[in-house]
Amino acid sequence: AQSVTQPDIHITVSEGASLELRCNYSYGATPYLFWYVQSPGQGLQLLLKYFSGDTLVQGIKGFEAEFKRSQSSFNLRKPSVHWSDAAEYFCAAYSGTYKYIFGTGTRLKVLA
């Protein structure tokens, strides 16, 4: 069965430090992969998506993610974290027809 795993429930980084949030997927074919962010009091917002082609995708707010088929991973990165990046981040995969499969989310805390 398809699945999306985010191994880290909580991550804490200092402002200005680099960030990497992990996501692993289980899917037979080439997956469509997404990262969403949920800031406090907000809905889930799409950060970036991978469908095919270049395995390094750029998103909004300075985020990028790299698709690695050999590792079944789609990790989210940011070179320098800002305090406003504190939020919950969800990795998701399109599973066919109309639905997405989400991970459990990673809550990011940013220290000043």
Partner 1 sequence: EPEVTQTPSHQVTQMGQEVILRCVPISNHLYFYWYRQILGQKVEFLVSFYNNEISEKSEIFDDQFSVERPDGSNFTLKIRSTKLEDSAMYFCASSERGQPTGELFFGEGSRLTVL
In the complex, the residues that contact partner 1 under the rule CB under 8 A are 4, 32, 36, 41-46, 49, 51, 90, 92, 94, 97-105
Minimum CB separation of residue 24 from partner 1 in Å reads: 13
Q: Which is nearer to partner 1, 109 or 111 (CB)?
A: 109
Q: Count other C-beta atoms under 10 Å from residue 37's C-beta.
A: 22
* Cα 28 from Cα 34, distance rounded (Å): 17
Q: Which is nearer to partner 1, 4 or 65 (CB)?
A: 4
Q: Where does residue 12 rank: exposed (0-12), middle (13-18), buried (19+ CB within 10 A)?
A: exposed
Minimum CB separation of residue 102 from partner 1 in Å reads: 4
Q: Which is nearer to partner 1, 81 or 89 (CB)?
A: 89
CA 108 to chain centre: 12
